[in-house]
Amino acid sequence: MKVVDAFDAMLGRMTSRERRLFAVLAAAIGVAIVAGAAVAMMAMFGSIQADIDHGRQALAEARLLAPRYKELSEKRRAIEEAIRANKATARSIVNEVLKKQNLSGDVQGAMGDTLADIVSFEGKTTETPIEVGKAKKKPVKGKGKEAVTGIVQIEQGLEFKEVPQADLLAFLDQVEQGKDLLFVTKIDASRKFNNMSHVRAQVTVATFQFQGAAEEAPEGGVTGAAGANE
């Protein structure tokens, strides 16, 4: 009550002009407070509205991307299942491809009329553990001391001492278009100086396998060059 009494006493000592000025000042302060509160509330509601609009846009984009995401997820799942089910080596897969392709021309020293009769396998297989999102580990040739776990890329080298160029291209196309887990990772080819339609080529193919924790890493391929037919 002392504050109210003091305020009344102060007003009582003011002239009418001072009272009007004081009322105008008080009104101005009140208007400023109300305006500030209104601006703050508008800013807050504007921020909330912006978040709502952003959420709606993100939701709309997610709905558009959902079918593609589902499609890619299914493809990835199918690839993982195929890798887990794959027990064949790169050598056995590529050998079946070679046996099915006939030579389109004469090749000196060929023991038959298919690519399998002129191709030799080089060295041991090379195993490279694959970790998604990480750099590849150093390849391990042949059988390692410790069992490899996870997805492993197994590479096998092939040597075409002489092959019609068209046949080599057809072989590469069959590998590319085939349904088997077989891929060309490296190729080095050169024409024969005495027969420009034939080439010498060294090709590296690879397949993928899943080697579980309880499984032992498979042994490497046959050392040295060997005929494709087994």
- Between CA 11 and CA 20 the distance in angstroms is 11
Q: What is the 3-state secondary structure (H, E, C) of the chain?
A: CHHHHHHHHHHHHCCHHHHHHHHHHHHHHHHHHHHHHHHHHHHHHHHHHHHHHHHHHHHHHHHHHHHHHHHHHHHHHHHHHHHHHCCCCHHHHHHHHHHHCECCCCCCCCCCCEHHHCEEEEEEEEEEEECCCCCCCCCEECCCCCCCCEEEEEEEEEEEEEEEHHHHHHHHHHHHHCCCCCEEEEEEEEEECCEEEEEEEEEEEEEEEEECCCCCCCCCCCCCCEECCC
- Between CA 49 and CA 222 the distance in angstroms is 69
- Give the pLDDT mean for 134-150: 54
* pLDDT value at residue 224: 37
* pLDDT value at residue 171: 87
Query: How many CB atoms are located within 10 Å of the residue 121 CB?
Result: 23
- Between CA 184 and CA 207 the distance in angstroms is 9
Average pLDDT across the chain, whole number: 77
What architecture does CATH give domain 88-227? Answer: 2-Layer Sandwich (3.30)
Domain ranges of the chain: 2-63, 88-227
- Between CA 45 and CA 50 the distance in angstroms is 9
Residues listed for the chain = 230
Task: Write the pLDDT tens digit of every residue in 145-155.
Answer: 445 568 888 88
* pLDDT value at residue 149: 60
**Plot region of 123 (φ>0 → left; ψ -120 to 50 → alpha; else → beta):** left
- Give the pLDDT mean for 215-223: 42
Asked if the model's pLDDT at residue 39 lies above 80, the reply is yes
- Give the pLDDT mean for 71-90: 86
* pLDDT value at residue 136: 54
For residue 50, the Cα-to-chain-centroid distance in whole angstroms is 34
Percent of the chain with pLDDT over 90: 0
* Residue, of 2 and 179, whose pLDDT is higher: 179
* pLDDT value at residue 20: 76
Amino acid at 215: E
